[in-house]
Structure 1
Amino acid sequence: MYTIICIFSEGIERRCAVRLQKYMAHCGVASRRKCEEMIKQGRVTVNGQVVTQLGLKIDPQKDEVKVDGRPISLEQKRLYILLYKPRGYVTTVKDTHGRPTVLSLVGNQPVRVYPVGRLDFDTEGLLLLTNDGELANRLMHPRYEVEKEYYAVVEGRPSKSQIQAFIEGIDIGDAIAHAHKVRLLWQKGDNSAFKIVLREGRNRQIRRMFEAIGCRVKFLRRERMGNLTLGDLKPGQWRYLKDDEVMQLKRLTEVSK
């Protein structure tokens, strides 16, 4: 393997207007950030040569791009799957510890799809899988403030001031995390249930916010992302998105925001 700094002549370089990772995302390989990781890992070739440095621009009309040995193109069909992720599955393509992945639940699809964001191993609920890398990137980017709603059952009875702290911001160690909305649903014995809406998506954010106020999350389910809800789906079940649902998602992430 070796690295391409630029494989194009000066004349071709002037016509190349697409960065490799952006092209990959438009082809539906993954989000732009994930595509950058794949390039650094040496999984991408341009005209048969391995690329490991970011910044390369390509001409989609002339250059052959392959990911893991498979050619990609803009003509690939866009696929959108809404999955009810059960607990006990990881939200990755592969797992080094041999745990089951969410991709095993949707079977063989005509194109490769990837999870949009993550739900941790013990969290269940709504998960979108797609090969539309550009839409996936926007759904996860805090700039677009796409709402994600969760149902949580926790040990303890947080006070009103502790609940308000979710809105004002809670130090979770590496950041100050905020919830957009928090609503107490019920309290029974030493347990409480909440509906929580986030517009940001930090790693294990809800669990870490409750841990910061001394409450352990016993159950967590994501019930909504933007305009999408679980509906009648049961854990492990999935369906394709309807055209109007895809259009609504795209309107939520318009550049004008």
Structure 2
Amino acid sequence: MADTPRFRRAPMPNRAPATVADAGAVRLNKRLADLGLCSRREADEWIERGWVRVNGQVAPMGLKVTPQDRVSVDRQADAMQAQRVTILLHKPVGYVSGQAEDGHQPAVTLIDARSHWRGDASQQRFSPAQLRGLAPAGRLDIDSTGLLVLTQDGRVARQLIGEDSDIDKEYLVRVAYGDVMADVQAEFPPAQLARLRHGLSLDGQALRPAQVDWQNPEQLRFVLREGRKRQIRRMCELVGLKVTGLKRVRIGRVLLGQLPPGQWRYLGPREGF
């Protein structure tokens, strides 16, 4: 049996043949990220290690490439990517998603062997090395609970929070309407519900259409395809609602499920957003 080639050819983008205007090529790290192989930061690391070749030659940092250039990646990069983990945390209220602020602990401090959910079916074992470069891929504010993704994998981060991300996120939102805290649905005007679905703006920018429906008389279900800061709370304020509880229960195809608050599990090898 023949040996496995050390380098694998990166997929060619679906592009028309180059024109004269196409000669102003893109940086190699952007090309690798656009192909979905890694993040730009990871691409720079691969290039620095000599793991990327362009037209058969080891690529230097800062190189620009055209769609016609042949890009190949060392198998060692695949091995490094395979070791990167993505963690699903049920964030409790009182923790911030990112850097510590105002004395509040970041969610990543909850990740250790003791808080690893026993129901995790991935069969992966925790190692402190998995905390290096582990960062949240999206926000969940301090007053909210539910599914938070933390990842070492730039591909996952790009998929969830990249400029072209189209992954939807589902929330259950308990609300009050003025002094009304029970059977809010009966008192809340249908026209205002329609505004929640489409027609609101934040920070001078129109919001994308959202799915908003009553889950029960005191709780709304939101499905969003964007993530402005404190978006749901601010949307509700614009129509006279006050959020009294907010929980994210789904990101794309990944459900919070039975994961207990303060515990976490790995994204399984057959799972995807």
Q: Which residue of 2 aligns with 1:224?
A: 250
**TM-score (normalised: structure 1):** 0.66
Structure 2 residue 111 is the aligned partner of structure 1 residue 85: no
State how many pairs are aligned: 198
Deviation at 1:142, TM superposition (A): 5.8
- Residue 240 of structure 2: which of 210, 214, 238 is its match? 214
The 3-state SS of whatever aligns with 1:185 is strand
Deviation at 1:241, TM superposition (A): 1.3
Deviation at 1:145, TM superposition (A): 1.8
The answer on whether the counterparts of 1:149 and 1:224 sit within 8 Å (CA) in structure 2 is yes
Q: Which residue of 2 aligns with 1:200?
A: 226
Deviation at 1:195, TM superposition (A): 0.7
Deviation at 1:99, TM superposition (A): 1.4
Q: Which residue of 2 aligns with 1:161?
A: 191
Q: Deviations over 1:17-54 (max 9, x none)?
A: 5238967xx897xx65xx6xxx9xxxx9x98xxxxxxx
Unpaired runs of 5+ in structure 2? Answer: 1-25, 62-75, 113-127, 178-183
- Residue 116 of structure 1: which of 118, 137, 149 is its match? 137
Q: Which residue of 1 aligns with 2:105?
A: 100
Pairwise CA RMSD: 3.3
**TM-score (normalised: structure 2):** 0.62
CA distance, structure 2, for counterparts of residue 123 and residue 21 of structure 1: 37
CA, structure 1 residues 150+96, in 2 after alignment: closer, same or farther (shift >3 Å)? closer
Which letter maps to 2:159? R
Structure 2 residue 260 is the aligned partner of structure 1 residue 243: no
The answer on whether the counterparts of 2:144 and 2:246 sit within 8 Å (CA) in structure 1 is yes
CA distance, structure 1, for counterparts of residue 154 and residue 147 of structure 2: 18
Q: Percent identity?
A: 33
Which letter maps to 2:137? V
Q: How does 1:1-257 map to 2 (within 5 A)?
A: 18-19=28-29, 74=77, 75-76=79-80, 77-92=83-98, 94-107=99-112, 108-110=128-130, 111-141=132-162, 143-156=164-177, 157=184, 158-187=188-217, 192-246=218-272, 249=273
CA distance, structure 2, for counterparts of residue 165 and residue 141 of structure 1: 27
Unpaired runs of 5+ in structure 1? Answer: 1-15, 48-57, 65-72, 250-257
